Amino acid sequence: MAHGSAPVVGVDLGGTNMQIGVVDAANRIVGQARLKTQAEQGVDGVIERLCAGIETACAGAGLKTSDLGGVGIGAPSPIDASCRIILNAVNLRWRDVPLADLVSRRLGSVPSTLDNDVNVAVWGECMLGAGRGHRNVLGVWVGTGVGGGLVLDGRLHHGTFGTAGEIGHVIMLPEGGPASEKLEDHAARSAMERRAAHLLRANERSSLRDMVEGKADDVRIRHIARGVEEGDPLAQRLADHSARMVGIAAANAATLLSLDCVILGGGGAEALGEWYLARVRRAFDEVVFPEELRQCAIVTTQLRDDAGLLGAALLARERLAKD
């Protein structure tokens, strides 16, 4: 069989859902499955569902699992240096689970590999989406928290402890209080929502109040996005602060690493769209060093929900495919 021509499976394993896709040699998704993770069923239960889902997706593509070149899995956890063991998946309550080996065994020796969920999404975007043609790339995923992934000199960078990319945890305001110091405390979707609730309760004027019928705790990113679009000053202030902090953190990473691309993803960045992108760009350009770095592209994701499974599938092909 030619190198890498066998179909591969990519899995995006989340705390709530898992998405599974069979990817052919032309990088098309030719079979899919989407299941609830049901983490409460424990490691064995989740792996059973995951592998059954792989079989379903293969059947949809007219394949057996023995036809696969490999399985790649993105998981919400740091992983070990061999890319085989989930170290600490808080959402799943898993510690030190050798997921790649367990999946391989259950599928009858199909080779498997693992990586962090944001890493695989960034890899997918670099190979097939918004990051194509770039060599030094930071992905910033603005979701409930802020996640990140790094591609350096064309390869995913894991670092010594396998935890590289955690840009949500860089300190932005070292002179501030400890609770407001990290990027994700300023920039995450949940940080914007929490701050909106706080300001509504403090009686700030905003069209957000009507959107949630006065229930401040019900503000969600979609309301903030609508407020931004309609010119509500409070919504714009919240989104602008998030964008500015993301822009400065990304510029610091670009200054340190000489990046040529920053990809913005996650529910927060996607909901706020071009408005948000433009403000990240402005803050980035104000502070990045040296000025050549203003040539660094800043883009939003293109693959959306498929980024994770596509990236995981492509990592499987790269790491596992044999002649």
Q: Which residues bind its own copies (CB under 8 A)?
A: 78, 134-136, 148, 150, 152-153, 157-167, 169-176, 181, 244-245, 248, 251-253, 255-260, 287, 289-290, 292-293, 295-296
Q: CB nearer to its own copies: give 253 or 269.
A: 253
Using CA atoms, how far apart are residues 316 and 27, in angstroms rounded to an integer? 12
CB nearer to its own copies: give 116 or 301: 116
For residues 224 and 235, is the Cβ–Cβ distance under 8 A? Answer: yes
What's 304's DSSP letter?
Answer: G
The alpha carbons of the chain give a radius of gyration, in whole angstroms, of 20
Is the separation of the CB atoms in 256 and 240 below 8 Å? Answer: no
Q: Is 54 helix (H, G, I), strand (E, B) or coil?
A: helix
Token pair listed for 272: 């706020």
**CA distances (Å), 264 to each of 100, 129, 169, 313, in order?**
29, 12, 16, 21
Question: What is the nearest approach in angstroms of its own copies to the Cβ of residue 11?
Answer: 24
- 3-class state of residue 178 by DSSP: helix
Least Å from the CB of residue 285 to its own copies: 13
Nearest residue (CB) to its own copies, 82 versus 258: 258
- 199 CB contacts (<8 Å, ≥6 apart)? 206, 234, 238
Nearer to its own copies, 296 or 309 (CB): 296
Closest to its own copies by CB, 62 vs 176, is 176
| Min CB(175)–its own copies separation in Å | 6
User: Least distance (Å) from its own copies to the CB of residue 40?
Assistant: 25
**In the structure encoding, which two tokens stand for residue 38, read together?**
């049901």
Report the nearest approach of its own copies to the CB of residue 251 (Å): 7
Give the shortest CB-154-to-its own copies separation in angstroms: 11
How far, in Å, CA of 198 to CA of 237, rounded? 14
User: In whole angstroms, how close is the CB of 5 to its own copies at the nearest point?
Assistant: 29
CA gap 205, 100 in Å, rounded? 52
Measured from the CB atom, the residue of 115 and 166 that comes closer to its own copies is 166
Cβ closest to its own copies, residue 5 vs residue 82: 82
